[in-house]
Chain A
Amino acid sequence: EPEVTQTPSHQVTQMGQEVILRCVPISNHLYFYWYRQILGQKVEFLVSFYNNEISEKSEIFDDQFSVERPDGSNFTLKIRSTKLEDSAMYFCASSEAFSGHQPQHFGDGTRLSIL
């Protein structure tokens, strides 16, 4: 069964450094998403991406965040200057583009630890 893959599984970074989290969505999917989950809390939406542009973003997704689809298979989340509160699990998801609703399928996440 096709799946969303994320790398690395764990990233440890010094505060103020830049990080790039990588995702390979399911190959025939056209919608892509990033969510985060702070330890013990619920999953929170960050951003959705379609047709090479952001379609929606949350208030969490401020100027330090950016997303990119650099080629036909990867989807990345960049955090420019990390803060301690950015420590969380970051999940990538993808779904088929369709006129109706389609479920989002999630990767197993990247655990980001900011020191």
Chain B
Amino acid sequence: GESVGLHLPTLSVQEGDNSIINCAYSNSASDYFIWYKQESGKGPQFIIDIRSNMDKRQGQRVTVLLNKTVKHLSLQIAATQPGDSAVYFCAENRANFGNEKLTFGTGTRLTIIP
């Protein structure tokens, strides 16, 4: 069956260190992936996306890596700050035009230790 899952439900990182959050997906037809950050009481906030024709994409302090061979993607956050504490979700999209359903993973709770 199709699924988007996360390897670790919780992750604690020292402030200033780098963090890596992992995500596995099972559908080889997936062609678009998004990382979202969700703070308590808020909706998912877009962080970065990547298309299946790319292996790596960088944003401000964040990098997403995509390994289609093993159906794995990761989110790297550099020089973590207290404000990075949140739940991080990967989401997968297998869109045809007019069909933009996102399938979310279960989430990883990232805690930044001061």
Contact residues of A with B, CB < 8 Å? 4, 6, 31, 33, 35, 41-45, 48, 50, 55-56, 58, 91, 95, 99-109
B15 at the interface (CB under 8 A from A): no
Whether A42 contacts B107 in the complex (CB less than 8 A), given A104-B102, A105-B46, A108-B42, comes out as yes
Among B41, B45, B105, contact of A106 (Cβ-Cβ < 8 Å): B45
User: Size class of B's contact patch?
Assistant: 20 to 34
7 closest A-B pairs by beta carbon, nearest first, are: A106-B43, A101-B32, A43-B104, A108-B43, A106-B44, A42-B104, A103-B46
Query: What are some 8 contacts across the A-B interface (CB < 8 A)?
Result: A6-B43, A33-B102, A41-B106, A102-B100, A103-B49, A104-B46, A104-B102, A106-B36
Could you tell me which B residues sit within 8 Å of A by CB distance? 31-32, 34, 36, 41-46, 49, 51, 89, 91, 93, 95, 97-107
Taking CB as reference atom, which chain B residue is nearest A98? Answer: B97
Q: How many A-B residue pairs have CB under 8 A?
A: 64
Complex CA distance for A102 and B93, rounded to whole angstroms: 10
